[in-house]
């Protein structure tokens, strides 16, 4: 018997099965053969929230949560943040290798020349209610792009996939900036092809009457590094949604809108906005112990703390603290930083957080930087969605070409009633129901 097997004895039948172990994993389908009789469906695995289920093979992003390691295509995040531009990292994540200068120049040219939005998309955005949340405008508008590019459903055509990938990476900042300006009632600013990806984004956000927008280089680089840190994070909630929706062969614009919807929640990318609201609520250092006590009593969560995978530290949070210093050197310190540092200090000494391995995650400090750069809290999750689009697209592409993948379709353990008879409406007894 191979040592790379798991021997399972089904005590209901006394039968023994050898299940292969590959890459530290057993296949759920190998358990289906374990039946009590011919009518039995066979054993399934129950794993709510996919706590211990690998849904794919992937060569994009490696995370070692216990050691705080994050690598894109094998390159440590620290080196990429130090040496690369965002579009260089996007190329790496999507195509597997760092580009040469010629390849990068071509890639940057291609992305830069897809940043414009169709005028009908602009009109679509104009119809949003004044004060709409920028993240929901972004999600709806990306979904609406599926009407502009109906051929995008040709997902098995590599050339079509590449075109949609370029369009989406290029257009996300344009949509994001338009949603921001719409929420302020400002006229939209068209892209400037002479600027870098982040400089152009800043141009579309903040250009007013000046003939040419000049971004502060420190802030533009800080945004670039933040984009690099957020570009992919393997099978998180949003990426899993991207793969699941994409697995039905839906338009990538709709899959991206779905992934962005998942990201918008406060337990995922929406946490960065919630952190700032939490720091506003805490108000002063003196209020921190009472706030931490209320967290420990289960009244609320400490937003920006904890992670499903990182159980030691989030390497992105460590890098973000460094960026914060550079940004505050230009903008002046965000007054909430002191509260955040003290909150972190108190939490990291407290047994509640130590025993549960809860550490600051990527969202704990990113909001402070975004706010110092000049973003409203409503924009924070949008700033997460722009770079994460690269990761979503890489995950989507990998899923589409993987012969092992099919339409995503989990199983359930049915717990409801069976075989009831419909009673005519006049004869029914009222039963109190809850949602
Ligand atoms: N504050 C207080 N308690 C917490 C927190 C928190 N932020 N996070 C987890 N816990 C507790 C949780 O109540 C549970 O306690 P107990 O064992 O007594 O029931 C224990 O720690 C384990 O937590 P969990 O909910 O089982 O962990 P999870 O892996 O399901 O959740 C998480 C991960 C990120 C959703 C969660 O830590 C959380 O809600 N954090 C706050 C929101 C946040 O910052 N999200 C951003 C995540 S990083 C960026 C991203 O993914 O987009």
Place of tokens 């009472």: 290
Q: Among 12-21, 134-143, 177-186, where is mean pLDDT lowest?
A: 177-186
Instruction: Tell me whether residue 113 is one of the annotated catalytic residues.
Output: no
Share of the chain above pLDDT 70, in %: 100
Looking at residue 317, its pLDDT comes to 87
Whether 268 is catalytic is: yes
pLDDT in tens, 266-290: 999 999 999 999 999 998 999 999 9
361 C-beta closer than 6 A to ligand 1: yes
Instruction: Tell me the best of 51, 266, 306, 367 to mutate to test the pocket of ligand 1, counting ligand atoms within 8 Å of each CB and taking the most.
Output: 306
Average pLDDT over residues 128-147: 95
Going by C-alpha positions, the residue among 245, 206, 231 that lies closest to residue 81 is: 231
- Closest atom of ligand 1 relative to the 307 alpha carbon: 34
- Is residue 51 over pLDDT 70? yes
Does 253 map to a domain? no
Q: How far apart are CA 135 and CA 29, in angstroms?
A: 39
Q: Is residue 225 part of a domain?
A: no
Q: Does ligand 1 come within 6 angstroms of the Cβ of 319?
A: no
pLDDT band for 435, please (50, 70, 90 cuts): confident
Q: Is the pLDDT of residue 121 over 90?
A: yes
What pLDDT was estimated at residue 388? Answer: 98
Interval between CA 236 and ligand 1 midpoint (Å): 14
Q: Looking at the 3D structure of the chain, how many domains does it have?
A: 1
- The residue whose CA is least distant from atom 42 of ligand 1 is 267
| pLDDT reported for residue 1 | 63
Could you tell me if 65 and 312 are in contact, meaning their C-beta atoms sit under 8 angstroms apart?
A: yes
CB contact burial 241-268 (16+ within 10 A = b; e otherwise): bbbbbbbeebbbbbbbbbbbbbbbebeb
Taking the centre of ligand 1 as the mean of its atom positions, its distance from the CA of residue 289, in whole angstroms, is 19
Q: Which of 114, 232, 307, 314 is catalytic?
A: 307
Q: Is 347 in the pocket of ligand 1 (CB under 6 A)?
A: no
Mean of per-residue pLDDT scores for the chain: 95
Structural domain harbouring 28? 5-46
Q: Is residue 11 included in any domain, yes or no?
A: yes
Q: Note whether residue 122 is domain-resident.
A: no
Q: In this predicted structure, what is the pLDDT of residue 321? A: 87
CB of 57 closer than 8 Å to CB of 46: no
Per-residue CA distances from 51 to 46, 210, 236, 270 (Å)? 10, 52, 11, 21
Q: Is residue 329 part of a domain?
A: no
List all residues 6 or more positions away from 354 whose beta carbon is below 8 Å from its beta carbon: 348
What is the rounded average pLDDT of the residues 148-177? Answer: 97
* Dihedral (Cα; 21, 24, 25, 31), 10-degree rounding: 40
268: Cβ below 6 Å to ligand 1?
yes
Determine if ligand 1 sits within 6 Å of the CB of residue 229.
no
Residue nearest atom 16 in ligand 1 by C-alpha distance: 356
Residue nearest atom 29 in ligand 1 by C-alpha distance: 308
Work out the average pLDDT over 48-77.
Answer: 96
Ligand 1 centroid distance, CA of 267 (Å): 8
Is the C-beta atom of 376 inside 6 A of ligand 1?
no
State the average pLDDT over residues 122-127: 94
State how far the Cα of 85 lies from the Cα of 232, in Å rounded to an integer.
Answer: 15
Residue 248 lies in a domain: no
For 105, the token pair is 């120049």
Contacts of 422 by beta carbon, 8 Å cutoff, 6+ apart: none
| Catalytic site residue from 268, 280, 283, 350 | 268
Q: Is residue 31 part of a domain?
A: yes
Report how far ligand 1's centroid is from the alpha carbon of 298 (Å). 11
Whether the per-residue pLDDT at 135 is higher than 70: the answer is yes
Q: Is residue 155 part of a domain?
A: no
Query: Which ligand 1 atom sits nearest the alpha carbon of residue 305?
Result: 7
Q: How confident is the model at residue 335 (pLDDT cuts 50, 70, 90)?
A: confident
pLDDT, average across residues 374-389: 95
> Where is pLDDT greater, at 204 or 1?
204
Q: Is the pLDDT of residue 2 over 80?
A: no
pLDDT tens readout for residues 297-334 = 999 999 999 999 998 888 998 899 889 989 999 999 88
């Amino acid at each position: 018997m191979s040592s790379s097997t798991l021997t399972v004895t089904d005590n209901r039948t006394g039968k023994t099965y050898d299940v292969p172990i590959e890459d530290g994993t057993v296949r759920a389908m190998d358990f289906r053969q374990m039946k009590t009789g011919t009518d039995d469906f066979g054993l399934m695995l129950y794993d709510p929230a996919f706590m211990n289920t690998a849904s794919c093979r992937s060569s994009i992003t490696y995370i070692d949560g216990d050691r705080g390691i994050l690598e894109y295509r094998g390159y440590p995040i620290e080196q990429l943040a130090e040496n690369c531009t965002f579009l260089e990292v996007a190329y790496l994540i999507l195509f597997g290798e760092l580009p040469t200068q010629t390849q990068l120049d071509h890639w940057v040219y291609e992305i830069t020349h897809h940043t414009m939005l169709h005028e009908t998309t602009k009109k679509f955005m104009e119809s949003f209610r004044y004060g709409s949340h920028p993240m929901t405008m972004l999600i709806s508008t990306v979904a609406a792009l599926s009407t502009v590019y109906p051929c995008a459903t040709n997902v098995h055509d590599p050339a079509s996939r590449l075109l949609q990938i370029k369009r989406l990476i290029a257009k996300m900042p344009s949509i994001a900036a338009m949603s921001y300006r719409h929420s302020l009632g400002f006229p939209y600013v068209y892209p400037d092809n002479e600027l870098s990806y982040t400089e152009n984004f800043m141009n579309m956000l903040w250009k007013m009457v000046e003939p040419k927008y000049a971004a502060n280089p420190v802030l533009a680089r800080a945004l670039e590094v933040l984009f690099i840190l957020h570009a992919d994070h393997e099978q998180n909630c949003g990426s899993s949604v991207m793969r699941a929706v994409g697995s039905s062969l839906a338009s990538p614009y709709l899959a991206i809108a779905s992934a962005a919807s998942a990201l918008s929640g406060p337990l995922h990318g929406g946490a960065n906005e919630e952190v700032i609201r939490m720091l506003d609520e805490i108000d002063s250092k003196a209020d921190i112990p009472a706030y931490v006590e209320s967290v420990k009593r289960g009244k609320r969560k400490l937003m920006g703390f904890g992670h499903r995978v990182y159980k030691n530290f989030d390497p992105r949070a460590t890098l973000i603290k460094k960026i914060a210093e550079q940004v505050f050197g230009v903008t002046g310190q965000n007054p909430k930083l002191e509260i955040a540092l003290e909150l972190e200090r108190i939490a990291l000494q407290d047994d509640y957080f130590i025993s549960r391995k809860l550490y600051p995650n990527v969202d704990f400090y990113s909001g402070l930087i975004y706010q110092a750069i000049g973003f409203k809290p409503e924009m924070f999750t949008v700033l997460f969605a722009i770079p994460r689009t690269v990761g979503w697209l890489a995950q989507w592409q990998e899923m589409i070409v993987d012969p092992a993948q099919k339409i995503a379709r989990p199983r359930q353990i049915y717990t409801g009633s069976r075989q009831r008879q419909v009673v005519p409406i006049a004869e029914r007894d009222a039963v109190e129901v809850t949602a």
